[in-house]
Structure 1
């Protein structure tokens, strides 16, 4: 499990203490930290720490940076059944709150978020407020995300590639699936292979994403993973006029 958090204090270490008993941390892991600039905005210190190996269907109690409040999360089970929650285009409105409360009322195992997280759209403080908004939920279960159009935040000549905030704040385990980009990856949980595609990364037949996807699909063993789930924000080929004329989709 990767634990990510943001601190204003630069001297906070990128460490997570954890254990299976409240207030008792018999394991610790150290990770990395980053920060970024976007025009006149400078982010605080963004920590990313991977902890484990962890036992399935187990509640772990943890604290970040050597002090502070205690959080807890439950790992997914080792066998069926498993329950996924799927919600995209979250944003930061009253509807966001009721949606998250509705999801939280279930006993789901993994949340899949197919893009459009904070709706910051270059207004970087909205990334910080989104983090505070989802913390009570994202700290309790694994959240696996892919990007949407509102994560692009491109600007000609200055930020032509986009996704600076998204990649800094929401790194996914793309390397483990052989991907070369945080914008698309896959992972296994119980008997399910989940593919998170990138609507806004090149998907032409000679692109890295296309070749990665072909190889990823080829390696699936349906006897071990009978379920294959594909998540994408805007379909590569679609008649949705709201997404026509975009750089990729």
Structure 2
């Protein structure tokens, strides 16, 4: 055999191996989208293992790919032992036509993805959004995911709200669990805006997996709270977890509180509330629940509800009343629960016959039963009077904002093969602050998992087996 023949075979083998691995390492994956700063924008996000030096989206209406947009990429180093590296790409499509289906493909000159598609929202406020909502979805026991994927393909939804807790956990196995989860949700998340908030299972390494993988409007994933509008609704995505990891300091808690109040003040200007009469919040840990697990929402002095115990600083419930929040959506408990309208643990129904018509306080629901490896959180045998309906079935919540006055909710049971097990219509003939004295939240001395003193001096650090931080005001964005 001639030396030249050996060299030829070696080069041929090298080319074959390279061709396979180049496709793998530069191949775009984990594609997902979010609404941009306005409804004519769409944020397109994907990952590659290696740096491609460019981030490109080819897109167009009617199945065409005749437009191109470029964006940026960020090097993401997982905090695990392997310090695995990948690159997160972000491109914002702007000037999109309303109510139009766009095809798109993502990647670079080293390789493009398969073709995906999304449909833009109608123009303006006078349309009726349909949304699927759930939290606590893992890549093990993701029982609701197949049904959601089928319904998404049928065009049943305009957006998804994932109310915290992803993958269980995204950081595990040096973030490979997070990679697998993002691949699992790609059929959903590449088709419509997949809007998120952080949960407790995202806390590792300063929430780095959450803050690097997802991109929300105005970079809301970095500070972990943001707002967006959708038809007649203004949504506020909130970071309840800032309350439960005070080693990151009081500064982000105070910053978020001020942002919530400023955002609600702006939303309540007459011209803004006329356009977006519904104000809906979503955050991971509830203010109210009836589960038998000693979580924060089972306590009389819930941190999310009343803020710093004893002094009651920076709690959210009074803000929700003061500025007329209509609906608060939560998860964390692996169950579904619908509350009567409630404030300070007191039922505030509109009337005896029509409790959800012109209620005197916000309505709360908990939808954390999408399915994960931690199974269910059982309920107490003696629920509080503000609990209207409870279920341990795996499932998710559908919301249809019919118009400026009517909002419909229903709970889908995956255990019962898609049967509707609960439904409610919220009627608000006018929107705005609730006409009820904003009394101080009634104090009660019961144990709270995380104890604070004024201005965030963290005590009871032993409860989490961590030493108190040297600087409770530190907040480092990685």
- TM normalised by structure 2 equals 0.46
CA–CA distance in structure 1, aligned partners of residues 191 and 258 of structure 2: 34
CA–CA distance in structure 1, aligned partners of residues 217 and 100 of structure 2: 21
Considering only aligned residues, what root-mean-square deviation do their CA atoms show, in Å?
Answer: 2.6
2:275 alignment partner, SS class = coil
- Matched length: 238
Runs of 4+ off more than 6 Å: 203-206
1:35 alignment partner, SS class = strand
2:242 matches 1:191? no
Q: 2:58 aligns with which of 17, 39, 44?
A: 17
1:183 and 1:201 in contact (8 A); partners too = no
- Aligned residue runs from structure 1 range 9-158, under 5 A: 9-11=50-52, 13-39=54-80, 40-66=82-108, 67-78=112-123, 79-92=126-139, 93-101=141-149, 103-104=151-152, 105=154, 107-120=156-169, 122-123=171-172, 124-153=175-204
CA–CA distance in structure 1, aligned partners of residues 195 and 277 of structure 2: 20
Offset from partner CA, 1:92-138 (integer Å, 9 cap, x none): 12404334335424521011111012111630111000111011111
User: 1:168 aligns to what?
Assistant: 212
2:241 alignment partner, SS class = coil
- Listed as ranges, the gaps of 5+ residues in structure 1 are 154-158
- Listed as ranges, the gaps of 5+ residues in structure 2 are 1-41, 245-249, 297-448, 453-478
Greater shift, 64-73 or 3-12, is seen at 3-12
Larger helix share, 1 or 2: 2
User: 1:226 aligns to what?
Assistant: 277
2:48 and 2:86 in contact (8 A); partners too = yes
2:78 and 2:171 in contact (8 A); partners too = no
1:3 and 1:49 in contact (8 A); partners too = yes
The structural deviation recorded for 1:207 is 0.5
Larger radius of gyration: 2
Offset from partner CA, 1:24-79 (integer Å, 9 cap, x none): 32232323333223122413221111111212211111111142311111112223
- TM normalised by structure 1 equals 0.85
